[in-house]
Amino acid sequence: MSPHARTTCTAFEGHRLLASGPYAEVALAVKRAADAGASDPLLVFDDRNGRAVEFDLRGSEADVLARLQPAPAPPRGPGRPRLGVTAREVTLLPRHWDWLASQPGGASAVLRRLVEQTIREGDGRQRARESAESVDRFMLAMTGNLPGHEEASRAFWRGERDHFTQLTQPWPRDVRDHLRRLAAIAWDEADTASPGTSGH
């Protein structure tokens, strides 16, 4: 599966929304705009983390899509490959090994449960952080020269939704609307990760 198969991104030609959706669709839209001689900069942002995306637009559309495919998977090492289990070294103190040995299911099963529990608990905080960083990166790239940028950025981080909406109202519509969507997602993720503490 392509590393971008479950990821979406959004492309702008200057301040105009060019395309939004799966990487392959957006890559083709960007290539067509570039081939047509786009006069404004073509900028693409990953929707999950706001990082800039660079497509290699050389060659045909098929060439562009082919470069989005994943590299071949490396050969599997020891473990139980059919179950997706890989054996690697784990270094623990003696008291940790003693505790693991006393748990039902053996050390491997206990470690897997602990890791899964930690992943579940940390996922919400990680999503909230990534969503906020996505807003920050998009604003830095697309609104840094627009009037009220600094104040709008502060309003976002303080969770002042109405003030943020007011400050972004004069901005180019496509940029403003996309930014507001990103901000709403970030605020909702923050509320979910820290219920009752965000103050938004």
Domain co-membership, 21 together with 95: no
Residues 116 and 174 in one domain: yes
Is 99 found in the same domain as 59?
no
Total structural domains within the chain: 2
pLDDT of residue 57: 95
Residue 3 lies in a domain: no
Residue 58 lies in a domain: yes
DSSP 18: E
Residue 140: the pLDDT is: 95
Task: List the Cα angle 54/55/59 in 5-degree steps.
Answer: 150
Instruction: Please give the chain's pLDDT, 200 residues, in tens.
Output: 344 445 899 999 999 999 999 999 999 999 999 999 999 999 999 998 999 999 999 999 999 999 988 766 566 555 555 566 677 777 877 777 778 778 887 777 778 777 777 676 666 678 888 889 999 999 999 999 999 999 999 999 999 999 999 999 999 999 999 999 999 999 998 888 765 544 44
Among 175, 108, 190, 184, which Cα is nearest to 143's? Answer: 175
Structure tokens, 168: 């972004």
Q: Are residues 44 and 83 in the same domain?
A: no
Distance CA 96, CA 76 (A): 28
Does the predicted model carry a pTM greater than 0.75? no
For 153, residues 6+ apart whose C-beta sits below 8 A from its C-beta are 136, 139
Q: What are residue 42's DSSP bridge partners?
A: 13
What domain range includes position 54? 8-66
Based on the domain organization, do 36 and 132 belong to the same domain?
no
Q: Are 186 and 132 in contact (CB under 8 A)?
A: yes
Q: CA separation (Å) from 179 to 35, 148, 172, 196?
A: 27, 14, 11, 25
Q: Are 42 and 141 in contact (CB under 8 A)?
A: no
pLDDT of 124:
66
